[in-house]
Structure 1
Amino acid sequence: MGEFWPVPDVLAYLAGNWRVRRSVRDLASGDEGEFTGATAFEALDGGGLLHRESGTFVWQGVARPAERTLRYLPGDAPGTADVRFADGRPFHDLDLTAGHWITDHPCSADLYRGEFTVYDADRWRTVWRVRGPAKDLVLTTDHTRADPA
């Protein structure tokens, strides 16, 4: 397990600014795209973090601005998080105390399976594998701290 970097408190770890690079592969069509941008995890009133991601998504040669907002709230166990969409709907749980976490998110008939891996104090990765009648995708996102301590 030397490849994982344990995180005792996921919210404390994520707080701050990150550079983001995401590859998107459509396994059905073979198409590939890429998102590049930044994510800020800022303190929320009442606890938790507001996650704001913005950048450029290039798909089939066309570049478009892209953004999303999530809420990372304190989880049921110390050091964990309950991740929610901007409108409050549940997305997934997150426990990085071992430096690695796998979680699921059902979306209509599709299933998103997320794998989170922390490499060190300033680098982590998510891989979402999406399977179902509407999608067959792999989304790999690398985060690098923009303001290392």
Structure 2
Amino acid sequence: MGEFWPVPDVLAYLAGRWRVERSVRDLASGDEGHFTGTTTFSPLDDGGLLHHESGTFTWQGVPRPAERTLRFLPGDSAGRADVRFADGRPFHDLDLTSGRHIADHPCSADLYRGEFTVQDQDRWRTVWRVGGPAKDLLLTTGYAREGQVY
């Protein structure tokens, strides 16, 4: 399949601990930030996964703790998931059966467009482009299964 690695069961693929490296660029100001941490996908009672990310986000030279929680729920096939915020609001769909997926999430007047790509069984990445009147950002995140290199 070339540069993408197809994922027949997205929840089984994501389960476990991942090391995370994220760059954040404000395309309007030129400011850059960096996040380093871990993401754990742990089982939920409904068959989905709880995604908990924690680490350190450094913006304009100032490091601070950062974390977020998402819910990855089973989709209509094993290769698909319904991604939701911690409070249950919809975030985006996810279909990794081809190893690549584009997802959109409107947030007020801004649009988040994410590209998900799977390199192999132990590495995947996301690139979110956020545009609108309030934001002009590029967020690039690499995930490596714990014990693997990016």
- TM-score w.r.t. the length of structure 1 is 0.97
Provide the secondary structure at the position in 1 that maps to 2:134.
Answer: coil
Partner of 1:118: 118
Partner of 1:104: 104
Contact 1:92 1:104 in 2 (8 A): yes
Contact 1:22 1:35 in 2 (8 A): yes
- TM-score w.r.t. the length of structure 2 is 0.97
Partner of 2:52: 52
Partner of 2:67: 67
Partner of 2:94: 94
Contact 1:16 1:147 in 2 (8 A): no
Alpha-carbon displacement from aligned partner over 1:40-76 (angstroms, at most 9, x marks no partner): 0000012100000000000000000000000000012
Runs of 4+ that moved beyond 3 A? none
Percent identity among equivalent residues? 80
Alpha-carbon displacement from aligned partner over 1:56-115 (angstroms, at most 9, x marks no partner): 000000000000000000012332100000000000000000000001000000000000
Instruction: Note the residue ranges of structure 2 that are not aligned, 5 or more in a row.
Output: none
Alpha-carbon displacement from aligned partner over 1:8-31 (angstroms, at most 9, x marks no partner): 010000000000000000000000
Distance 2:142 2:84 in 1: 20
Instruction: Specify whether residues 147 and 44 from structure 1 end up closer, same or farther in structure 2 by C-alpha distance, changes over 3 A only.
Output: farther
Instruction: Note the residue ranges of structure 1 that are not aligned, 5 or more in a row.
Output: none
Distance 1:79 1:98 in 2: 9
Partner of 1:37: 37
Distance 2:147 2:74 in 1: 23
- Identify the range of structure 1 (76-85 vs 129-138) with the bigger mean alpha-carbon deviation: 76-85
Distance 2:68 2:110 in 1: 20
Partner of 2:27: 27
Provide the secondary structure at the position in 1 that maps to 2:124.
Answer: strand
